[in-house]
C-alpha cells in the first residue's frame, strides 16, 4: 500500500479565509491597454457637374446628341471592419515561498477560482517559475461540483467500486462536471476540465445539483459488477479474512469529523482479550516486525502520529471501554466508581468515545457471553453497542470471537459468531473473522485454558515472521492491522 500524501491545502483553509478577508487590497494592472482603432480618412465625395445654362443664342431646336462617353463615377472606398480585440490574460510567476491560497487572496480570488483557471495545477506542490493564470472575476461561473476541502487526493476510479483501478487523483476544490450516478447514489461519474473521466464516491464532492437529476450510468461490461452490491471478502495470507469494507462507512467517518472525532485515533472495545498488553500495544511501542507485511506500515505510521489519551498513541492506550470479564452489555452499564476522567452516570463506552474522540473502534465481545447469554440477548446487547458507536460517528470494526473449548460450551462460540457476522452484514460494517483465522492454527491458537489466545514463547506477539504466526495473539494483531489498513485506505482516505 503506497504512502498517501498529506494535503496541506485542506488543513490551511480556515487561516486562508481569514487571510483573504484582511489582506490589503491590491491594485491590479489593467488586463489590456484599451484598443483605439486607427482613424480612417473618408473618400472624397464626387459632385456631378451642373449642365450648362440655357442662352438666347439662336441655334437648332434640339442639339445633336453627343458622341462622348460620360465619365464613370468614382467608386466609394471599401469599409474595413475594426479588428477583434483579444484580451491577454494576466499571469503570475510563482516565486520561492509562495502558497497557492495566498496568491489567490492577493488577487482577491478564492482558491477554487484560481484552481479553475489553472486546471491540472497541483496547488500543494507549486514550484518557482510555475505560471498561473489570474482569471477575470467577471468571467467566473458557479461549479457543478467540486472536490471537498478535505478530499485532496481524491482517487478517480475506472468503475464504481473500491476495488477498481485508480486512474488519477484530484486536488481539493477541483471543479468537475457530473455525467452519471449509480442507482444507490453512492458513486458519481465525473469529468474534469482536463478531460479526465471516471467514478468517485459522491460523499467526497460538494454538489451543485441534486443527484436525482443525473442519469443512472452503468459500469463497463468487463468490470466486476458484483462488487457494487456484494460485500467484498479479501483473503489475507496467514491472516483469516477482513470483509465488508463498504462506502456506508464513508458517511459515518465524515459525520464523525463534523462532530470533532480525530482521524488519527482509534479505540479498543472488549473484554480481557482486548485488555491484554500483547494486543496491539507492542506496535505502539515499536516492538513489531512486519516481515512480508510491509503494506501495513502506512496505517501504523498514521495512527502512531495521533494522540488517543494522555499523550499515548491508540495502540498503547489503555481503553476505558475494555475490562476483564465483561459481557457485551457491560460496556453500556453504569455502576461503581467511574474511572478517572469519566463522569458519574456515564457509561464506559460513552466515556471512552468522549475522551479519545476516535474515528474507528475495534470491537470484540462474546467470549464471556458464551457460558451465560442466549443468542437473542447477545444480539440485543451487541446491537446496542453498535448503534451507540455509529451515533457517535465512529466506524465499528467488529470481530468474531476465538474458539471456546471448555466442556459444556460446545457450539456456543459458533452460535454467537453467527450473530456477530449477521450484524456486521446487516449494518454493512467491516468484519474481522478472527475465529476463521484461528481455525488453522495448532491448538486453535488457544492457551491451556481453552479460552484465551496463546502467545509465542518469546512474547513477541507483533512479530509477523516464521513460527510467530502460529499463535493466536499474533494472529489477532495481524488481522486487526489489516482491518485498520482497509478502513484507513478505502474509507478514511479520499
Q: Is residue 88 part of a domain?
A: no
One domain, residues 194 and 292: no
Q: Is residue 57 part of a domain?
A: no
One domain, residues 199 and 343: no
Query: pLDDT tens track of the chain, all 494 residues?
Result: 555 554 444 444 444 434 334 333 333 333 333 333 344 344 444 444 444 444 444 444 444 454 555 566 565 555 666 655 455 678 999 999 999 989 998 998 988 889 888 888 888 889 999 999 999 888 888 889 999 988 889 999 998 988 888 999 999 899 999 999 999 999 999 999 889 999 999 999 999 899 999 999 866 554 443 333 333 334 444 444 788 888 889 999 999 999 999 999 999 999 999 999 999 999 999 999 999 999 999 999 999 999 999 999 999 999 999 999 999 999 999 877 788 889 989 999 999 999 999 999 999 999 999 999 999 999 999 999 999 999 999 999 999 999 999 998 999 999 999 999 999 999 999 999 999 999 889 999 999 999 999 999 999 999 999 999 999 999 999 999 999 999 999 999 98
Q: Is residue 83 part of a domain?
A: no
One domain, residues 212 and 239: no
One domain, residues 247 and 196: no
One domain, residues 154 and 265: no
One domain, residues 356 and 413: yes
Q: Is residue 181 part of a domain?
A: yes
How confident is the model at residue 82, as a pLDDT?
60
CATH number at residue 173: 2.30.30.40
Q: Is residue 19 part of a domain?
A: no
What is the span of the domain harbouring residue 477?
A: 233-492
Q: Round to whole Å and give the CA distance between 272 and 290.
A: 25
Query: Which residue do the cell numbers 452499564 mark?
Result: 333
One domain, residues 376 and 305: yes
Yes or no: say if 493 and 4 are a contact pair by the CB < 8 Å rule: yes
User: ∠ CA 268-274-278 to the nearest 5 degrees?
Assistant: 110
- Copy the grid coordinates of residue 430: 467491516
Yes or no: say if 373 and 419 are a contact pair by the CB < 8 Å rule: no
How confident is the model at residue 220, as a pLDDT?
58
Q: Round to whole Å and give the CA distance between 177 and 455.
A: 54
Q: Is residue 8 part of a domain?
A: no
**Domains of the chain: total:** 2
Q: Is residue 119 part of a domain?
A: no
Q: Round to whole Å and give the CA distance between 214 and 113.
A: 25
Q: Round to whole Å and give the CA distance between 168 and 199.
A: 10
One domain, residues 357 and 422: yes
Domain boundary among 161, 184, 219: 219
Q: Of 349, 299, 353, nearest to 487 (Cα)?
A: 299
How many CB atoms are located within 10 Å of the residue 207 CB?
A: 16
Q: Round to whole Å and give the CA distance between 127 and 332.
A: 54
One domain, residues 290 and 344: yes
CATH number at residue 311: 3.40.50.1110
Domain boundary among 194, 219, 244: 219
How confident is the model at residue 123, as a pLDDT?
87
One domain, residues 269 and 208: no
One domain, residues 183 and 288: no
Q: Give the H/E segment covering residue 378.
A: helix 375-391
How confident is the model at residue 113, as a pLDDT?
87
How confident is the model at residue 40, as a pLDDT?
38
Q: Is residue 100 part of a domain?
A: no
One domain, residues 255 and 293: yes
Domain boundary among 162, 194, 219: 219
How confident is the model at residue 83, as a pLDDT?
57
How confident is the model at residue 53, as a pLDDT?
43
pTM score over 0.75? no
Amino acid at each position: 500500500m503506497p504512502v498517501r500524501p498529506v494535503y496541506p491545502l485542506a488543513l490551511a483553509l480556515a487561516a486562508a479565509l481569514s487571510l483573504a478577508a484582511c489582506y490589503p487590497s491590491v491594485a491590479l494592472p489593467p488586463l489590456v491597454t484599451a484598443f483605439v482603432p486607427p482613424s480612417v480618412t473618408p473618400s472624397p465625395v464626387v459632385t456631378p457637374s451642373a449642365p450648362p445654362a440655357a442662352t438666347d443664342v439662336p441655334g437648332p431646336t434640339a442639339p445633336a446628341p453627343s458622341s462622348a462617353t460620360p465619365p464613370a463615377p468614382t467608386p466609394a472606398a471599401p469599409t474595413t471592419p475594426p479588428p477583434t480585440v483579444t484580451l491577454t490574460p494576466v499571469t503570475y510567476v510563482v516565486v520561492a515561498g509562495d502558497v497557492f491560497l495566498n496568491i489567490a487572496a492577493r488577487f482577491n480570488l478564492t482558491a477554487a477560482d484560481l484552481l479553475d483557471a489553472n486546471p491540472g495545477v497541483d496547488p500543494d506542490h507549486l514550484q518557482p517559475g510555475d505560471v498561473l493564470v489570474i482569471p477575470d472575476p467577471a468571467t467566473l461561473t458557479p461549479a457543478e461540483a467540486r472536490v471537498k476541502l478535505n478530499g485532496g487526493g481524491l482517487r478517480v476510479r475506472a468503475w464504481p467500486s473500491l476495488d477498481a483501478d485508480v486512474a488519477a487523483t484530484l486536488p481539493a476544490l477541483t471543479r468537475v462536471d457530473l455525467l452519471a450516478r449509480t442507482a444507490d447514489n453512492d458513486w458519481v461519474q465525473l469529468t474534469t476540465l482536463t478531460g479526465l473521466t471516471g467514478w468517485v464516491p459522491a460523499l467526497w464532492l460538494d454538489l451543485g445539483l441534486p443527484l436525482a437529476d443525473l442519469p443512472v450510468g452503468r459500469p463497463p461490461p468487463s468490470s466486476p459488477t458484483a462488487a457494487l452490491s456484494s460485500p467484498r471478502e479479501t483473503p489475507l495470507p496467514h491472516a483469516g479474512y477482513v470483509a465488508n469494507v463498504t462506502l456506508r462507512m464513508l458517511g459515518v467517518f465524515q459525520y464523525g469529523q463534523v462532530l470533532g472525532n480525530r482521524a488519527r485515533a482509534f479505540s479498543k472495545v472488549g473484554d480481557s482479550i482486548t485488555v491484554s498488553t500483547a494486543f496491539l500495544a507492542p506496535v505502539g511501542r515499536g516492538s513489531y516486525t512486519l516481515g512480508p507485511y510491509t503494506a501495513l506500515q502506512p496505517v501504523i505510521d498514521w495512527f502512531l502520529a495521533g494522540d488517543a489519551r494522555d499523550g499515548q498513541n491508540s495502540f498503547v492506550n489503555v481503553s476505558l471501554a475494555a475490562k476483564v470479564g465483561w459481557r457485551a452489555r457491560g460496556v453500556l452499564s453504569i455502576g461503581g466508581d467511574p474511572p478517572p476522567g469519566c463522569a458519574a452516570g456515564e457509561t464506559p463506552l460513552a466515556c471512552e468515545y468522549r475522551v479519545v474522540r476516535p474515528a474507528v473502534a475495534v470491537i470484540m465481545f462474546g467470549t464471556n457471553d458464551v457460558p451465560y447469554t442466549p443468542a437473542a440477548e447477545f444480539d440485543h446487547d451487541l446491537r446496542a453497542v453498535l448503534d451507540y458507536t455509529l451515533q457517535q460517528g465512529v466506524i465499528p470494526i467488529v470481530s468474531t470471537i476465538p474458539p471456546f473449548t471448555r466442556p459444556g460450551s460446545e457450539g456456543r462460540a459458533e452460535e454467537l459468531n453467527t450473530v456477530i457476522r449477521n450484524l456486521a452484514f446487516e449494518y454493512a460494517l467491516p468484519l474481522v473473522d478472527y475465529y476463521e483465522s484461528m481455525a488453522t492454527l495448532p491448538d486453535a491458537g488457544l492457551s491451556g485454558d481453552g479460552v484465551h489466545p496463546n502467545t509465542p514463547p518469546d512474547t513477541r506477539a507483533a512479530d509477523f515472521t516464521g513460527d510467530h504466526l502460529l499463535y493466536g495473539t499474533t494472529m489477532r494483531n495481524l488481522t486487526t492491522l489489516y482491518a485498520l489498513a482497509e478502513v484507513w485506505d478505502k474509507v478514511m482516505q479520499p
